[in-house]
Structure 1
Amino acid sequence: MALTDKYKELVDLARLNNLSVSESGDVLRVEGVVSSASVKDKLWEIYKRIDPLFKSNDLVLNIKTAVSDGGKVRVVTQESRLNIRKGPGTDQPIVGKAEKGEIITLISKTNDQWWLVRDVDGEEGYCYSQYLEPVQ
């Protein structure tokens, strides 16, 4: 089975949003910029439904949102830096870190536990929401 068949629903949504979809070897790559965080979140929801534990290692989602500036949030960890992850879950790779007290951009509240953020270096990913607080 081709990966484009396995991930048909995800590929269809990606193409609808003008994302690049390519299959090379045993990996399907979906890349580009989407108009809203809800589209990015939907892609991750579909991926999680197809591969609930993200164990197949046959899909790369490299998606950014077109949001340039949303609300600001402060990192409120006790002592350590906050991990910024590729997807919403602790099983996702770490793509960046935010320092305690750092103010970063909130793109969307994906759910009660995971918020999509962009750090000061422009890295975009998901953080555990209990370690973020809105900046007034």
Structure 2
Amino acid sequence: MALQDKYKELIDAAQSSGTTNLKVSELDGVLHIDGVAPTGAVKDKLWDIYGKIDPNFLTGDVVMNINVATAVEGAKLEVITDSTNLNIRKGPGTDQPVVGKAAHGETVTLINKTNDQWWLIRTNGGAEGYSYSQYLKPVE
């Protein structure tokens, strides 16, 4: 039995539960499952399914490297520009007008990840708009 068939329920659950950057590969008789779960509850669910398939985790035929997303809605983010302010724009793009700024080192709140590059954020002062995600880091 192929490992992807053996662990189909686990792979399907990862896909259906919103796990991002999901990579499933088989190398030297070991199935590698990597990705980012949207919540800790999803990660727990995946481990529960794995435990049901291999109750004592003894077969050693799976390496599951699932992290929990830290930049989820409502999460605090730190502005990590070199030293300047981060522009907050009306829409997701540099062609959009600037509606506010966040200072280097300031903590802002994630409202939504529009895409990998642009995140909708809100400053403590209430300015709301889109900023380039490269300059935002989840506060641990």
TM-score normalized by the length of structure 1: 0.49
Larger Rg: 2
TM-score normalized by the length of structure 2: 0.47
